[in-house]
């Protein structure tokens, strides 16, 4: 089956794709309307179908494709039966079902199949091209390196990849990637059961730009190069992955193709083209870390949910450059194709000014802008479960060079992780965990949908203490001699487990934004450390301005200024029986986190 999310008459809809036998026209059919049509037809006495009136989900078809995926196996089974029935019905009985229950694909706006992915996780360095002929890489650590993309990065087929603020200078890059869409929730998934959790596949165009390279002082125009002071992995990731997290730079689609339609996901030809001309061809069999291993690994520390999207890195050239003249040409089209999965085509647009949020190419942004609730009016309107995105700054304190080996920079480091890593209650420590590093941090919550924010403090809804847990098992798994990314990424992954970042409530508004000079404390049993919010380098305003220059922030998003030296380390033996962590920031309240290992 080919499944699509789309807009018709301003409303989000979803359906399955049918090729009309007589004309070859491609239709997208809404399941609820198709079942209703078939039901009405079956009630006609002369139809001969009265005794076997078909029923699939009746009135229980969900309104969106993401909600349908949440039905898991029950939904897929019912839909498969309906699609088979409709295809036969259209071919043999009454093809007027198509205009009565669907629309020509060419007449609708295709969205990304999952328009608002909770997890949009893209692997990097996942093919032999990253290690072959590299004398400095004697071994490869077989765990995924990858980044989480915000919802504003997702666009559908035909929507413009939009570069703003000179993000296209001096070049941009892109390549085709195979994406897996999760269809069954799971945690601690055995490798041999991993494919049972896959709904199907889609195509992702992994686009990147150079904005976060260019804003490094004196670095404008140097492309993907950085000066020595910025060569630590966490700023390299900020620059490289920040250029992938930017709005519209992760087209997805055109359809979700269910896994039964693809015989072998490791035997697919993959093509990257520009305006019809071939740029690169590759093969999915080049994958180093396959679907099963990645699903099993991710679920070893965090839950996967229906509608989560994992894309598996380029199998060919890493980032095909598109020169400024081509980027500025309105006729330029970025085209990526995967055999048996589909062809995704997007134009390129250069926007020198702000992009209107209510007509944004990303439906996730546009939907919130047009919803009538793009602003949280009061701190009580927010809960940790309502956040869509979670951003963390790294090395953002006075002693970072001494304690973490991270130089003081003019541009703050930031990365984002899944919002499911935020929580407000007990913290279950995964079975894989070893030592934990606990920190007390200052967190802020974004009050409104916004991009290109000059005064970031105006966007702060409230402040809160956050107790963050970082699992050292990721660092323990690194085998030396390792690559820089393999050593650096555990600082990010260690915070990604479900509920590992506990935010205090209620949020505290600070009318004068006097967040500096506040005492910070962290206690576990008789052990205690202290610090001050004055230890931070970049404040909330600077972080918000830096992130929002390319990435639309959503109401309820959480940004933490990161850890300082106010940290405690716990061995598994120390927390095996369960402990309570107490953290606080002067004037902003306390946060308690009960920590215990998972035993089930």
């099963």: which residue's tokens? 292
- The token duo for 392 is 């963390």
For the chain, domains (ranges, CATH) are 2-110 (2.30.30), 115-209+246-366 (3.90.850.10), 373-600 (3.90.850.10)
- The token duo for 258 is 């269910």
Q: How many CA atoms lie within 13 A of 41 on its CB side?
A: 20
Partners of 519 in beta bridges: 532
**Residue 68: how many other CB atoms lie within 10 Å:** 25
pLDDT at 71: 97
pLDDT at 45: 60
Partners of 469 in beta bridges: 438
31-42 and 72-92 helices cross at what angle (nearest 10)? Answer: 50
Q: How far apart are CA 196 and CA 576, in angstroms?
A: 32
pTM above 0.85, yes or no: yes
The pLDDT tens digits for 12-37 are: 999 999 999 999 999 999 999 999 99
Residue 490's alpha-carbon distances to 123, 477, 501, 598, in angstroms, are 14, 9, 16, 21
Q: Residues of the chain whose pLDDT is less than 50?
A: 50-51
Q: How many CA atoms lie within 13 A of 557 on its CB side?
A: 29
Q: What angle do CA 415, 418, 422 make, to 5 degrees?
A: 100
pLDDT at 317: 93
Residue 211's alpha-carbon distances to 391, 392, 478, in angstroms, are 18, 19, 31
CB of 346 within 8 A of CB of 333? Answer: yes
pLDDT at 50: 47
Does the bond joining 475 to the residue before it have cis omega, within 30 degrees of 0?
A: no
């Amino acid at each position: 089956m080919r499944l699509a999310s789309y807009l018709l008459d301003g409303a989000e809809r979803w359906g399955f794709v049918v090729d009309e036998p007589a004309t070859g026209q491609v239709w997208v059919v809404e399941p609820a309307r198709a079942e209703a049509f078939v039901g009405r037809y079956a009630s006609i006495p002369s139809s001969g179908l009265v005794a076997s009136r078909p029923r699939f989900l009746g009135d229980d078809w969900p309104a969106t494709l993401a909600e349908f995926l949440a039905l898991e196996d029950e939904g897929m089974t019912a839909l498969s039966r309906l699609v088979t029935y409709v295809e036969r019905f259209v071919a043999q009985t009454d093809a007027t079902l198509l205009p009565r229950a669907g629309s020509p694909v060419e007449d609708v706006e295709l969205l990304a199949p999952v328009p608002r992915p909770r997890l949009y996780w893209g692997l990097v360095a996942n093919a032999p091209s990253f290690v072959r002929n590299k004398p400095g890489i004697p071994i490869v650590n077989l765990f995924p390196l990858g980044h989480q993309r915000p919802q504003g990065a997702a666009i559908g087929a035909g929507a413009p990849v939009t570069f703003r603020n000179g993000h296209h200078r001096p070049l941009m890059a892109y390549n085709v990637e195979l994406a897996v869409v999760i269809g069954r929730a799971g945690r601690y998934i055995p490798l041999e059961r991993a494919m049972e959790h896959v709904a199907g596949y889609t195509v992702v165009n992994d686009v990147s730009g150079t904005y976060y390279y260019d804003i490094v002082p004196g670095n404008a125009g140097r492309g993907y190069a950085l000066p020595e002071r910025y060569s630590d992995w966490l700023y390299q990731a900020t620059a490289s992955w920040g250029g992938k997290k930017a709005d519209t730079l992760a087209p997805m689609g055109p359809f979700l193709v269910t896994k039964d339609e693809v015989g072998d996901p490791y035997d697919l030809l993959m093509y990257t083209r520009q305006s019809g001309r071939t740029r690169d061809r590759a093969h999915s069999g080049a994958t180093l870390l396959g679907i099963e291993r990645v699903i099993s690994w991710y679920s070893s520390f965090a839950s996967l949910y229906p509608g989560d999207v994992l894309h598996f890195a380029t199998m060919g050239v890493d980032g095909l450059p598109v020169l400024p003249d081509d980027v500025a040409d309105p006729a330029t089209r970025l085209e990526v194709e995967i055999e048996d999965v589909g062809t995704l085509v997007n134009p390129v647009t250069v926007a020198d000014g702000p992009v209107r949020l209510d007509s944004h190419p990303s439906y996730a942004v546009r939907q919130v802008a047009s919803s009538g609730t793009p602003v949280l009016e009061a701190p009580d309107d927010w809960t940790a479960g309502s956040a869509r995105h979670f951003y963390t700054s790294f090395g953002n304190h006075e002693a970072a060079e001494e304690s973490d080996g991270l130089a003081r920079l003019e541009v703050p480091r930031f990365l984002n992780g899944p919002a499911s890593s935020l929580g407000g209650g007990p913290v279950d420590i995964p079975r894989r965990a070893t030592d934990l590093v606990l920190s007390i941090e200052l967190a802020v919550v974004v009050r409104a949908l916004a991009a290109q924010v000059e005064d970031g403090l105006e966007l702060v809804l409230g402040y809160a203490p956050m107790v963050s847990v970082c699992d050292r098992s990721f660092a323990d798994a690194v085998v030396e001699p390792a690559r820089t990314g393999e050593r650096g990424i555990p600082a990010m992954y260690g915070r990604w487990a479900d509920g590992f970042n506990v935010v205090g409530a209620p949020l505290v508004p600070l009318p004068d934004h006097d967040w500096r000079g506040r005492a910070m404390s962290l206690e576990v049993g008789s052990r205690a450390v202290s610090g001050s919010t004055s230890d931070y380098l970049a404040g909330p305003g600077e972080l918000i301005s830096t992130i929002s220059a390319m990435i639309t922030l959503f109401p309820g998003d959480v940004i933490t200024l990161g850890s300082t030296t106010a940290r405690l380390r716990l061995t598994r033996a120390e927390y095996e029986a369960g402990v309570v962590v107490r953290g606080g920031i002067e004037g902003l309240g306390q946060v308690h986190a009960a920590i215990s290992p998972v035993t089930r």
